[in-house]
Structure 1
């Protein structure tokens, strides 16, 4: 399976993502510039965390208009896997690939700590390595992680099982319905504020994040078998 890790000016979790995919999960991975216009040859795209373009205007707003994001949209239309992490979540909502928006934490402070999450849907391309109701610990590090969405959109997310992760024990940023991660209706685009790429080694933050990437690999391998 071949992953693309997008690099924007200001990305700072791209190296962590690359390491997690290549060195821990043993998958092929390449960096792809925000100026790129094609994602041919890749099986999955990862939009990493950081402060793309300095987070000027709004978090993810400028990055959402980069050349590569048009390619990401075309990639997603093909049914291929796209995952956004932290700033990547913000970028995917700004690009219209996922509903809602991320605004300032209710505390108005940057939060960086380990966070408990509950797996809400374990039957997705990004969560099939987990079990429903499983509580995992994944680091968070954000100032604008407060997920907001209209009541109508929230109802749709719940009815279509698009909520993949919720914050457990506490809601660190004020997100509606404790939402920490969602997918699109088709199930091939997912984003979460916590950083699974920072929880893939027992010596650093534990290994609970590995399940996200293993789920993607499982999904890809299952489809490969189905298509011969």
Structure 2
């Protein structure tokens, strides 16, 4: 006979009663323990699920940002290649008409609305030697770039008194153009861009000039050295 079968059979009395009460107590304790564990699991389930969801979302967002960054880098690389090709064609004597120039601009320019840039400004130059001013700040670019005025020097004569000479030659208004791109950018594209501005602004304010400089920087700043905007 088993151990329990050997005990007296009267419910609630003797060893059986005590044994059964003990078993019931153990059963209740186990049941309560399971309930607590299950309840605890329920409490943790939502935070764990939210954590997993937020982690997945963060991973997705990082992946999306990485994809956008790669696309931007790829687009800028293609634009730089297109600029070099256009500059090479100009170097062989090609003379693009307006339609062809606009196609070149389309192939090399960034979308200004997508570029983060604090904006253009003027400073105060201590010297009229703007090339020295720029190269003192960027000594490694000696021999590599042509120093360009972002707000071009024609502004001094077109809009008398609007910009002082020390502002025109300030470091903030200077850009480095790679020598290989100088003819394309300085003599063709920027000439076109500023002629458009002058035609639509027979009179201009300082802020309008600075806004247009910022527009050009956003559009072509990836072709400067050092680059501008990103």
TM-score by length of 2: 0.25
| Bigger radius of gyration among the two | 2
TM-score where L is the length of structure 1: 0.25
